[in-house]
Amino acid sequence: MSKYDYDLFVIGAGSGGTRAARVSASYGAKVAVAEEYRVGGTCVIRGCVPKKMLVYGSHFSEDLEDGKNFGWTWENAKFDWTKLRDHILSDVDRLNNAYTETLKNHDVEIILERAEIVGPHEVKLSSGKTVTAKYILIAVGAWPVKPDFPGSELAQTSNEMFHLEKLPKKVIIAGGGYIANEFAGIFNGLGSEVTVVNRSDVILRGYDESLRDRLLQISLAKGISYKFNCTFDKIEQRDDGGFDVYMDGKDAVQADVVLIATGRSPKIQGLGLENAGVETNEKGAIKVDEYSQTNVDSIYAVGDVTDRVQLTPVAIREGQAFADTMFNNDPKTVDYRCIPSAVFSQPPIASVGLTEGEARTQYGNIKVYSSDFRAMRNAFADRPERSLYKMIVEATSDKILGLHMIGPDAPEILQAAAIAVKAGLTKQAFDDTVALHPSMAEELVLFK
């Protein structure tokens, strides 16, 4: 008999936590997971999944328009926000149930309460009950941060975007990263007037410059406005329910919704880290080693709360590696090189490996290949939007260092191509592959 109530107590049933809990239990561990909100976490409940549904929903406006050149006409095409919103929310319910069932089927005990660490092996639940575990895994994720200015509480974060009562006519979005650009595309597609306001003069810092420029050009052409080097002074509520937004000392601009998308921070408040002496870094992220172990031997952490790479598939890998290491006697670490990523803007961006700038700095001698083309479907639909693919190659070895794409279905295409980049293939290997015609992806094997 163990002297603890559980072998593993997981705090947070998001992507990393559920994977770690389920797999550890499948290896025979006695596992409980505490979740204060819903099983599934940010990605499933208020992130990647419902966001992608909104992207699909919003893209129909272009598809309906483009259909005209393909012989289709639609009478009185209309969009109903509440219908899309409610269908998304019911799909989130379905996924929440599916995740719950999976955990239960693996004999993981789900405790729908907030949990606080009170010692290296001890956790206190919001009901007041205290439980013990040989190991504690913290997988509580991250939470949106709002800059501090008067009226910032009147602004929404991405968390609330999926519950809006009605489609806003005017939206102001603070930030120039993933969430800002994805929601700018969503609301623009649905017919709202969108302004993106960023503190710097770039969008999507970290992505290849040519792709960022291309997205900016296309977004401007679609009617999305951008204000750069601009910060919020204050937001005031109007009598009509809207908001007056003051920026850079100028007169108020009106909006129905203000979305703040200026990054997410590890959600460590009230977690009781100090009770066990768990160390965090200057950003509030829990410090861990390559096995996700904190400075306290019995406490581990995975996912966004560790701020290694804030992406769902990375948290899942970390959760899996933790379970393999701790309960299957199979020590595993996560390889953080060549992680593909995508921005579900319209069109989407997808990327793996080094940008041109990074490759020049690190390798000096590189070759850059690019293909700037109009997808066949866009050309036929009279849509001017052009795609851009870029391959960055180390000049001497011909090894591919990075692959960057903006255009329809870029994330779908890049996921497969990322395998080749991760495997260290050369451009010659791509050249040796016969094109699949006609497709957009064939551009990858036709770079000159």
Is 18 near ligand NDP (CB under 6 A)? Answer: no
C-beta closer to ligand NDP: residue 58 or 341: 341
Least separation in angstroms between CB 321 and ligand NDP: 19
C-beta closer to ligand NDP: residue 234 or 383: 234
Least separation in angstroms between CB 287 and ligand NDP: 19
Least separation in angstroms between CB 275 and ligand NDP: 28
Task: Report d(CA 9, CA 108) in Å as an integer.
Answer: 10
- Give the C-alpha distances (Å, rounded to integers) separating 243 from 134, 153, 170, 228, 260: 51, 12, 10, 21, 14
Is 342 near ligand NDP (CB under 6 A)? Answer: yes
Q: Is 340:418 a contact under the CB 8 Å cutoff?
A: yes
Count of CB atoms situated within 10 Å of the CB of 185:
26
Taking CB atoms, the residue at the shortest distance from ligand NDP is: 177
C-beta closer to ligand NDP: residue 121 or 264: 264
Task: Report d(CA 316, CA 322) in Å as an integer.
Answer: 10
298-317 binders of ligand NDP (CB under 6 A):
310-311
- Give the C-alpha distances (Å, rounded to integers) separating 160 from 106, 238, 374, 385: 32, 20, 36, 31
Task: Report d(CA 219, CA 358) in Å as an integer.
Answer: 25
Interface stretch with ligand NDP, choices 8-16, 69-77, 275-283, 337-345 (CB under 6 A): 337-345
203-262 binders of ligand NDP (CB under 6 A):
205, 261-262
Least separation in angstroms between CB 32 and ligand NDP: 28
Query: Does residue 437 have an active-site annotation?
Result: yes
C-beta closer to ligand NDP: residue 30 or 264: 264
C-beta closer to ligand NDP: residue 344 or 430: 344
C-beta closer to ligand NDP: residue 280 or 310: 310
165-184 binders of ligand NDP (CB under 6 A):
175-180, 182
Of all helices (H) and strands (E), which one includes residue 403?
Answer: strand 400-406
Is 13 near ligand NDP (CB under 6 A)? Answer: no
Look at residue 95 and give its three-state secondary structure: helix
Least separation in angstroms between CB 56 and ligand NDP: 14
Residue from 187, 300, 327, 344 that binds ligand NDP (CB under 6 A)? Answer: 344
- Give the C-alpha distances (Å, rounded to integers) separating 235 from 44, 228, 238, 244: 31, 18, 10, 6
Residue from 139, 173, 273, 343 that binds ligand NDP (CB under 6 A)? Answer: 343
Count Cβ atoms within 10 A of the Cβ of residue 339 and give its class: 0-12 exposed, 13-18 middle, 19 or more buried: middle
Least separation in angstroms between CB 47 and ligand NDP: 7
**What are 342's two structure tokens?**
């995508």
Least separation in angstroms between CB 313 and ligand NDP: 9
Q: Is 213:235 a contact under the CB 8 Å cutoff?
A: no
Look at residue 45 and give its three-state secondary structure: helix
Task: Report d(CA 194, CA 172) in Å as an integer.
Answer: 6
Residue from 192, 341, 351, 355 that binds ligand NDP (CB under 6 A)? Answer: 341
Task: Report d(CA 173, CA 186) in Å as an integer.
Answer: 12
Residue 133-172 contact track with ligand NDP, rule CB under 6 A, x = bound: --------------x-------------------------
Least separation in angstroms between CB 188 and ligand NDP: 16
Contacts of 182 (CB under 8 A, 6+ apart): 51, 55, 343, 344, 345
Task: Report d(CA 115, CA 179) in Å as an integer.
Answer: 29
Report angle CA 133, 320, 115 to the nearest 5 degrees.
35
C-beta closer to ligand NDP: residue 357 or 384: 357
77-136 binders of ligand NDP (CB under 6 A):
none
- Binding residues (CB under 6 A) for ligand NDP: these are 147, 175-180, 182, 198-200, 202, 205, 261-264, 310-311, 341-344
Catalytic annotation, residues = 437
